[in-house]
Amino acid sequence: MSWAGLLAAEHWVRRTGVSHPDIDALIDHAWRWSTIGRSESFIDWYAALPRLQGLLTLPADVTAEAIRADVPAEDVATLVRSLDQLVYGNLFGALQFAWVEQDLDGIADIVERYELGLPSPDRLPASSRGDDGGWGYSVDASTVSMIRALDWTAPT
């Protein structure tokens, strides 16, 4: 389930032309959660939190980028907050599907206004970190790269 939100958020950023290293870092860091396993520890991943993680308001330079891309800053802020909550808001309280759905709704509200919806579950690999009430099993970086490259808007 979290992959759908990450994928939609990343595609929305590309489609709107919003380009900021802090947004990219947040998205990249969120995707890396799927690869946490024996080669990288949770502590190392969590110690490298991106600048936008946990912020209630966007920094001025990120707001300026939204304005430059002619995207309402509140859309960028909502997307960032929802993405942040999707990954980091569920880390320590055990995954709660109601919370995940709320976070996905926040992402969906934004991306749907730009004629881009969430990917349907059948377009994503079955093994995701949202299965069985937990985060599931980690996957390798090549699997994450494959998922990030999916175009779920293309006809099947």
* Residue 116 zone, left/alpha/beta (φ > 0; ψ -120 to 50; rest): beta
Choose between 28 and 34: higher pLDDT: 28
Structure tokens, 155: 């006809």
- Residue 154 in any domain: the answer is no
Write the DSSP string, 42-71: HHHHHHT--TTTT-SS--HHHHHHHHHTT-
CA 67 to chain centre: 21
- The per-residue pLDDT for 100 is 67
What are the pLDDT digits (tens) for 102-134?
778 889 899 999 888 888 777 777 554 444 433
pTM for the structure as a whole:
0.84
Domain holding 132, by residue range, is 2-148
> What's the domain count of the chain?
1
Is position 36 within any domain?
Answer: yes
CB 7 within 8 A of CB 119: yes
**13 contacts 116 by C-beta, under 8 angstroms:** no
User: Are 36 and 48 spatial neighbours (Cβ–Cβ below 8 Å)?
Assistant: no
Alpha carbon distance 10, 18 (integer Å): 10
Residue 153 lies in a domain: no
Percent of the chain with pLDDT over 90: 37
Does 155 fall in a domain? Answer: no
Place of tokens 């907050």: 81
The amino acid that residue 112 corresponds to is E
